[in-house]
């Protein structure tokens, strides 16, 4: 009986551990992809894929009180993708890209020590895409 109770307690503890640790993520990636290459550091993030379907989330971190902005580039051979960003707990559209499209621009200036989420959402299966985001200090 003691062994059975110990197994139940251990199982419940593991379930609680995994459940509580997942609560800290504001956005969750869920996707299927083929030949996907990802990079995500505190000040730059990129993803390149052959095929992609779903949602992919990246985080950039402004480690200080400096004003920053994000420069971004994207290309997509086939499909439709919406890219959003979240800085002050509001998910805002950054840009949309369609088949044979490309984007090269920058965001407005951000201030404060905050995490900036970049959310890439596809509308079905997309082919041959490349997305790059770099957090840069603003020149005053």
Assign 67 a pLDDT band (cuts: 50, 70, 90). Answer: confident
Please determine, looking at this structure, whether the domain spanning 27-137 carries the CATH number 2.90.10.10: no
pLDDT for 95-130, tens place per residue? 999 999 999 998 887 777 688 899 999 999 999 999
pLDDT score of 44: 93
| Cβ contacts of 51 within 8 Å, gap of 6 or more | 33, 34, 35, 125, 126, 127
| Cβ contacts of 64 within 8 Å, gap of 6 or more | 113
Parse the chain into domains and list their residue ranges: 27-137
Higher pLDDT residue, 122 or 7? 122
Number of CB atoms found within 10 A of residue 76's CB: 23
- Burial class of residue 121, CB neighbours in 10 A (0-12, 13-18, 19+): middle
3-state secondary structure of 22: helix
Report how far residue 85's alpha carbon sits from residue 32's, in angstroms, rounded to the nearest whole number: 21
Sign, CA torsion 75/28/86/121? positive
Q: Is the CB of residue 131 less than 8 Å from the CB of residue 47?
A: yes
């Amino acid at each position: 009986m003691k062994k059975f109770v110990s197994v139940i307690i251990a199982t419940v503890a593991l379930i609680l551990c995994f459940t509580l640790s997942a609560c800290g993520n504001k956005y969750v990636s869920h996707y299927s992809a083929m030949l996907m290459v990802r990079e995500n550091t505190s000040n730059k993030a990129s993803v390149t894929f052959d095929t992609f379907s779903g949602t992919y989330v990246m985080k950039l971190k402004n480690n200080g009180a400096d004003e920053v902005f994000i420069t971004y580039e994207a290309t997509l051979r086939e499909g439709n993708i919406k890219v959003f960003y979240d800085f002050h707990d509001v998910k805002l559209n950054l840009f949309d890209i369609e088949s044979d499209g490309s984007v090269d621009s920058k965001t407005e200036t951000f201030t404060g020590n905050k995490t900036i989420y970049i959310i890439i959402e596809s509308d079905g299966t997309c082919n041959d895409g490349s997305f790059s985001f770099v957090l840069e200090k603003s020149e005053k």
